Structure 1
Amino acid sequence: MDRDRQEILTTARLRGVTGFVMGGVDPDDWSRQRTVAECGIYMTFGLHPWTVINTEPAKLQKALEQLHTKLKDAVGLGELGLDYLRGPTSTSRAIQRTYFTRQLEIARDADKPVVLHIVKAHDDALKLLRDMGGRFHGIVHGFSGSADLAGAYLKLGLHVSIGCALLKSGYKVLKRELKHIPETAITLESDAPDMHPSGRTNINRPDIIVDVAKAVTDLTGRPTAKVLDQSSKALRILFGLDDPIRSD
């Protein structure tokens, strides 16, 4: 997306997407993010669970120390979390839980919102959040679960962030139960350049959020403009921003 960045951002803004949150996954990613920072683009820095399970312990500890200092330049901490699909062994899962907890501690100490990546690990994620006292603020990125699961995160102070799952085949539980998730608990995301909709082979783009909002309308009857405005308002509050914003 680097080569076409300005065209992509211009297209998004023409469709009403005027702010962007870019998630970071490792120290190299954090450095690249800083080179593209501009008005309307905001950064979160974190150690993604894929990074955690594929990095040597010494480098991982150094990265965690870097995160302490670099977080002051970010609007939140993320992505962090648990991915038991990519890390299926008991050892890799234990390592993920350790670094998930340590990053949650950093976020809490810095009073930063979190961007959670949770795959096939919701029970453990919720337990760890509760064990730490709950009441974090932030989003569960790429949410595709039930209304009850959304409610469990909501009780801990988190929103569920919904994206192109609504534009893909499958995801029947989310599509069936979306209308039962409070609109104030939902934010929208593109996950660009990943997670492109069914039938599209090119990279995903931030302006797909408008199509996600229309899908929410189709499934819930909620007006598209209201869906977009509610998401923007929630994200502005969560990340402490003044500009209209939608999650990238």
Structure 2
Amino acid sequence: MNKPAATDGPVSPVLSGWFDSHCHFDFPVFAQNRQAVWQHCESLGLTGLIVPGISCEQGKQLASFCQGRPWWFALGLHPFFIDQHTMDDLDWLERALVTSDCVAVGEFGLHRVRQMDPAIRLRQRRLFDAQLQLAQQYRLPVILHGVGAHDEIILALRQTRFDQGGVIHAFSGSEQQARQYLDLGFRLGLGGLLLRPNAHRLRRTVQQLPLDAWLLETDAPDMAPAVVASATNSPVFLPLIGVALARLKRVTPATVRAVQAARIGQIFRRSTDLSI
């Protein structure tokens, strides 16, 4: 059974301001002050975020976690947590893709840096291929994690003729790789790496590509921007990244917000809108 494609409709109020396209807001580090953090986010103009899935156990909680909130969620099996996954988790994932209001399959992908065990690399690839197939079958975009594996991922997308698009999370590859992803219908996740003093290649790539090639994200609580004192990242830093992107592209922050809203709404269309 195929999940019905979402239809175009009114723009969700979630997309009226800054939007964090990748935030692990369900992680325990936020448990004690999550509401206060979100109120701070709202005071800075954030109106929504996407919580990625990383495992079966965590994914089962995401619908209730996001219910009644301006938070969307994806479902997937993250390669970094390969020891937590079984092939049976794919059966759960398929059922959840049909019955839930998730906006994407992910976060999944290939994590090759410092991972030389052939058996683990093979398990990563099998889970990657299976999740890509599910996304194609149920006409959902993907949130892809690629560390040391961009060429392998690009080849797989081409060979499978995947045409549902999505986002390459925390992209830091070459301009050539970036353009290949764009040609395949993807957008590139842009986070705190942009603010690092030594991120010269990334800033050059941002300058060379169109503004709508990028989707803003924090990856909180990981990858805190170098310009902030906190070791724990937070969605409150999303506007900092947006302003940095605006300056680099020589446009206003309002322009960045508008372009982001258009792209988020186009890629992650929901079958039902949230009442918030």
Same-fold call, TM > 0.5? yes
User: SS in structure 1 opposite 2:74?
Assistant: strand
Aligned equivalents of 2:205 and 2:155: distance in 1? Answer: 23
Instruction: Report the Cα offset of residue 86 of structure 1.
Output: 4.7
**2:99 matched to 1:70?**
no
- Residues 110, 147 of structure 2: 8 Å contact kept: yes
**2:73 matched to 1:43?**
yes
Aligned equivalents of 2:231 and 2:57: distance in 1? Answer: 25
Aligned equivalents of 1:218 and 1:78: distance in 2? Answer: 30
Instruction: Report the Cα offset of residue 18 of structure 1.
Output: 0.2
Give the structure, 1 or 2, with the largest relative contact order (CA under 8 Å, sep 6 or more): 2
2:37 is aligned to 8
Aligned equivalents of 1:123 and 1:226: distance in 2? Answer: 32
2:205 is aligned to 177
Q: Deviations over 1:113-158 (max 9, x none)?
A: 1000001101100111111013231100111223222110011111
2:55 is aligned to 26
Q: Deviations over 1:46-82 (max 9, x none)?
A: 0001122x24xxx511111100011231111100100
Aligned equivalents of 1:105 and 1:115: distance in 2? Answer: 14
Aligned equivalents of 1:212 and 1:188: distance in 2? Answer: 7
2:168 is aligned to 140
AA of the residue aligned to 1:149: Q
| Identity %, equivalent residues | 29
1:88 is aligned to 116
- Residues 40, 243 of structure 1: 8 Å contact kept: no
User: SS in structure 2 opposite 1:112?
Assistant: coil
AA of the residue aligned to 2:91: E
Aligned equivalents of 1:31 and 1:5: distance in 2? Answer: 20
User: SS in structure 1 opposite 2:234?
Assistant: coil
Aligned equivalents of 2:60 and 2:183: distance in 1? Answer: 34
AA of the residue aligned to 2:191: G
Aligned equivalents of 1:32 and 1:168: distance in 2? Answer: 34
- Residues 184, 234 of structure 1: 8 Å contact kept: yes
Q: Deviations over 1:221-240 (max 9, x none)?
A: 13222112211221111111
User: SS in structure 2 opposite 1:161?
Assistant: strand
1:208 is aligned to 237
- Residues 136, 156 of structure 1: 8 Å contact kept: no
Residue pairs, 1:111-190, within 5 angstroms: 111-190=139-218
Give unpaired runs (5+ residues) of structure 1: none
Aligned equivalents of 1:139 and 1:44: distance in 2? Answer: 12
CA separation of 1:26 and 1:77: change in aligned 2, threshold 3 A:
same
Aligned equivalents of 1:100 and 1:167: distance in 2? Answer: 30
Aligned equivalents of 1:86 and 1:30: distance in 2? Answer: 26
Instruction: Report the Cα offset of residue 243 of structure 1.
Output: 7.3
CA separation of 1:139 and 1:117: change in aligned 2, threshold 3 A:
same
TM-score (norm 1): 0.90
- Residues 187, 232 of structure 1: 8 Å contact kept: no
- Residues 187, 230 of structure 1: 8 Å contact kept: no
Aligned-pair RMSD on alpha carbons? Answer: 1.8
TM-score (norm 2): 0.82
